[in-house]
Amino acid sequence: MEADTPEPVLELAGIRKSFGDIPVLRDVRLRLYPGEIHALMGQNGAGKSTLIKVLTGVLASSGGEMRLSGRAIRPGSPLEAQQLGISTVYQEVNLCPNLSVAENIFAGRYPRKGLAQGGRIDWAMVHQRARELLSRIGLDIDVTRLLSSYPVAVQQLVAIARALGVSAKVLILDEPTSSLDDEEVGKLFEVLRRLRAEGLAIVFVSHFLNQVYAVSDRITVLRNGQWVGEWRASELGPQALITAMLGRELAAQAARPEAPPVFDDAPGALLQAEGLAQAGQLQPLDLRVRAGEIVGIAGLLGAGRTELARLLFGMELSDRGVLRIDGQAVRFSDPVDAIAHGIAMCPEERKSDGIVADLSVRENIALALQARMGLKRFLSHAEQVAMAERFVAALGIKTASIETPIGLLSGGNQQKAVIARWLATEPRLLILDEPTRGIDVAAKQEIMEQILRLAQAGMAVVFISSEMSEVVRVAHRIVVLRDRRKVGELPGGSTEDAVYDMIAAA
């Protein structure tokens, strides 16, 4: 430890956690110092959320030691962790919008008066202390107003004020900026710097690299449930950080495993976006996709990949820019409009947004085509059967019957059925958001081959995957995103490391 570094206010050593026989944390360490902002980094599934749950008493560790101000602790619940001085503010503001700001700050621990402070709530004291806590973070608002009357950024600060109200020594912020725009992020960082100056130890979890470097003093990296290392932020550049998260050195000249099929660079775009944006979700972005072309969308988690897909499919409405189909400006008010223009999308969350688990394979495949046809013309049962049987055979969907509830199929076969649903609409452009997530290697291979066949038949494809090897394998062109903005494009045949280099250099 450096000579000028104080003792950690909180230290974790050898932390382990298993679910049954499956280890999810193995010998994890974390040192939090007073007056520092400490970024906890790692890819999705690295163990960050599990470690926070152990630290805050949501989960009990399977081994290891936690020491707070030199004293061994083992919080058995979030309440016990708060009483020890460990508070957490989660990505989704976990407050009650139907209560006032002051009520949210003191819910469950209202100051009282009379009968040895066991009597009625002292509302004057509630309001006074709420104003004092908000003043501490530089926020001057009416604490008697409903929380719901304030924007998300203010609600986030109210959540921080509530966390500070329990004499916190450690404040954990889990993706606090995910719903904030740049100006709101700047204000939040001013608050964090103020709290840091007061001596608070702050854990900052974020997938936005520029934000990590803007506010963090120290960085700890986890990978596959294991501790990789701890560095001062000033001594670990973005490229080195990504290397630590990936677990391998970036090799600029690494050979690409497979080359994509050659794409005929014909003029004209089927879809073209010009300055497409949504406040707080995606910075203005240009994009073109041509018939028969696979455009890969690459970036780390939180880069804006899914936000882009949702804008293109009308699931979210853009507030800037123009979207063109065959050169003609269009504006989708919902996915039905997108479908009518020949666009289809397989969403990221297959179980919640993709399948209807209790419906049969046949019914799931028929859903999108029925939506496109509208309420005036219904697909007959015979039409549904013929269509479902055709796609089950064409995509190799393994099911005992087309009448089997889709929820009983494996993940890979569910995904094939979702793809079949959209192919049934005969789309010109297919958006695939994480089409191979959570499925086995063989099913991944089949889906990747199917994507290549669709493009060869003339379909335009937007392909999004967190597995960079998949993106570089199939894409004719790669659009690289970081921190919800486009940072560049790479040609087909580029290596994974070239993509990571562009992300790190942005």
What domains are defined for the chain?
1-85+205-249 (3.40.50.300), 354-425 (no CATH)
What pLDDT was estimated at residue 440? Answer: 54
Helix (H, G, I), strand (E, B) or coil at 300: coil
What pLDDT was estimated at residue 37? Answer: 97
Residue with tokens 């790479």: 490
Amino acid letter for position 69: S
CA separation for the pair 506, 504 (Å, rounded): 6
What pLDDT was estimated at residue 259? Answer: 46
pLDDT averaged per 10 residues in sequence order, the chain, 506 residues = 71 92 91 96 82 93 93 92 89 80 85 68 88 88 91 86 84 83 83 92 88 94 93 91 77 42 63 92 93 92 89 92 93 89 83 79 85 73 89 82 86 81 86 76 70 88 88 93 93 91 86
What pLDDT was estimated at residue 374? Answer: 67
CA separation for the pair 417, 145 (Å, rounded): 49
Amino acid letter for position 389: E
CA separation for the pair 300, 503 (Å, rounded): 8
What pLDDT was estimated at residue 17? Answer: 93
Q: Residue length, the chain?
A: 506
What pLDDT was estimated at residue 254? Answer: 36
Q: Is the pTM of this model over 0.85?
A: no
Residue with tokens 């055709």: 390
Q: How many CB atoms lie within 10 A of CB 137?
A: 18
What pLDDT was estimated at residue 116? Answer: 57
CA separation for the pair 308, 8 (Å, rounded): 41
Helix (H, G, I), strand (E, B) or coil at 332: coil
Q: 44, 28, 77, 10: which is closest to 468 by C-alpha?
A: 44
Amino acid letter for position 460: A
CA separation for the pair 192, 216 (Å, rounded): 10
What pLDDT was estimated at residue 5? Answer: 61
CA separation for the pair 473, 452 (Å, rounded): 10
Q: 227, 246, 247, 245: which is closest to 16 by C-alpha?
A: 227
Look up residue 29 and give its two tokens. Answer: 């360490």
Rg, C-alpha atoms of the chain: 26
Quick one: CA dihedral 80, 83, 89, 92, positive or negative? positive
Look up residue 66 and give its two tokens. Answer: 């936690």
CA separation for the pair 284, 277 (Å, rounded): 4
What pLDDT was estimated at residue 4? Answer: 59
Query: 290 vs 47, 272, 294, 341, CA distance in Å?
Result: 39, 9, 8, 15
Which stretches of 279-334 are assigned E, i.e. beta strand? Answer: 282-289, 294-298, 320-325, 328-330
Query: 208 vs 156, 182, 185, 215, 305, CA distance in Å?
Result: 18, 12, 11, 11, 13
What pLDDT was estimated at residue 74? Answer: 93
What pLDDT was estimated at residue 505? Answer: 84
What pLDDT was estimated at residue 1? Answer: 45
Q: In sequence order, which residues have a C-beta less than 8 Å from that of residue 154 and are 6 or more positions away? A: 139, 141
Quick one: CA dihedral 83, 86, 89, 90, positive or negative? negative
What pLDDT was estimated at residue 258? Answer: 47
